[in-house]
Structure 1
Amino acid sequence: MLENREGQRVPDVTFPTRVGNEWVTVTTDELFAGKTVILFALPGAYTPTCSSTHLPRYNELAPVFKREGVDSIICLSVNDPFVMSAWAGDQSAANIDMLPDGNGEFSEGMGMLVEKRDLGFGKRSWRYSMLVKDGVIEKMFIEPDVPGDPFEVSDADTMLNYINAEAKLPKRVTLLTKPGCPHCDRAKKHLSENDMPYEEIQLGKNGVTYSSLVAISGRGTVPQIFIDGEHVGGADDLEHWLAKSA
């Protein structure tokens, strides 16, 4: 049975981590004392749900959490420091502190260390999230104890809804671009000046082609910009959209 530990202190653990090319130890006291911290734990770096949804959304909403008084967001997994560091770079997760619980001590202390032998993983953390204030767990969202890897309640939006259901969410912006395109650079400049983070999908990378551009946007020129799922258009269209939204 996965125990909810709200009202309890986090386990007292020392983590071997890497900073640059050096080994550095970090304690739970250093991570949590006097701070408001979100920690979300997951089964493994590079795994599908963790890479496509769990980590990216916390990274995306990090500025919103900061405005709501959260000092740091920690992603914990029973992986070694090298794997966690490489995964952070692969995900461009600059807003997240990666915490390698390589020996599973923290996960075991939380009662969240589970067997994943059927997948060849050995012991891993169950998926959960928690809000910790000055080392004391205020709120936990634990995934249901069912077979597989459920992902229903430990997501970033559920946590934000608990902290402040009225918090203003950032707009989701996606740009289809190509290298050397001055209009693409102009669009990105406008977005940066308006404090609107964006996802860039570049033609010629990861199988994205001209046919992909036409299929997605119905147009054959770049950039093509989407905001919250709405097709805005090119750089000029973005300027008009920003002027109307001002």
Structure 2
Amino acid sequence: MSHPREGQPVPQVTFHTRINNNWVDVTTDDLFQNKTVVLFSLPGAFTPTCSSTHLPRYNELAPVLKANGVDSIICLSVNDPFVMDAWAQDLHAENIYMLPDGNADFTEGMDMLVDKHELGFGKRSWRYAMLVKNGVVEKMFVEPNKPGDPFEVSDADTMLNYINPQAKCPHRITLISKPGCAHCVRAKQALTDRGMKFETIELGSHGVSFSTLNALTGRGTTPQVFVDGELIGTADELEAWLARLG
């Protein structure tokens, strides 16, 4: 079932943004004209689902989305530009354009404004995502009208699947390391040489210990590498896995 906004132009709005500590007005045309844009909107910066899942996955899949014809990826929230900038820095969301809809003009124009006064939020955006081509909404994924903050259809994977069901997502790679570990350095370099992004969990930080390593992997040496939730193992095992990829 199509959404009523599909086939309609996005609202004409001027956003008051901050760039390099200067106020810069950005218009709807600046953002959408002659471009293919994915915009996802959420209730608030720093809120749990937005920070843990919604924005990070769009940031993670941004290279794949862009390889499939998307020019830019915008995260919109009814927040001021200072909060949006701080949030972007906190999450290292380098692939996402953070758009503050401080007065909720765009959100209201999209008929997505909701009242969250019971949370002390005031008026905020409902959670949704859309694909916009040359300023016209092609597809919208709007979360169902349920209590709380549903997050079922506006995710990055759903959007990518709509744009190209055959698109291949990047592997999700986690490397457990320890300071001064030469094999950890080798494993990181092997992934970097392949252009593969990975997260590093270092023993001794954030309460992660050798006991944690053993509980997760059944092993006591570093590095230990996980790919898509599966334990690959040591640097040697990682290099063998990479070789099998071709």
Q: Give the corresponding residue for 1:177.
A: 177
- Where does structure 1 lack aligned partners over 5 or more consecutive residues? none
The farther-off stretch of 171-180 and 54-63 is 171-180
Provide Cα deviations, 1:68-88, integer angstroms capped at 9, x if missing partner.
000000000111111111111
Q: Give the corresponding residue for 1:87.
A: 87
User: What's the Cα RMSD here?
Assistant: 1.1
**Alignment of structure 1 residues 117-128 onto 2, 5 Å:** 117-128=117-128
Shift of 1:28: 0.9
SS in 1 for 2:152: coil
Mapped partners of 1:36, 1:216: distance in 2: 42
Shift of 1:184: 1.6
CA change 1:180–1:84 in 2 (3 A) is farther
**Alignment of structure 1 residues 7-156 onto 2, 5 Å:** 7-156=7-156
Amino acid at match of 1:43: P
Provide Cα deviations, 1:123-174, integer angstroms capped at 9, x if missing partner.
1100000000000000000001121101110001111111111111111111
Q: Give the corresponding residue for 1:234.
A: 234
Aligned length: 244
SS in 1 for 2:170: coil
The 4+ residue runs of structure 1 with deviation greater than 4 A are none
Cα contact 1:41–1:76 (8 A) shared by 2: yes
Identity %: 69
Provide Cα deviations, 1:180-213, integer angstroms capped at 9, x if missing partner.
3222221111111112111212222222222211
Shift of 1:228: 1.4
Mapped partners of 1:234, 1:134: distance in 2: 48
Cα contact 1:9–1:135 (8 A) shared by 2: yes
Q: Give the corresponding residue for 1:164.
A: 164
Mapped partners of 1:113, 1:179: distance in 2: 48
**Alignment of structure 1 residues 194-233 onto 2, 5 Å:** 194-233=194-233
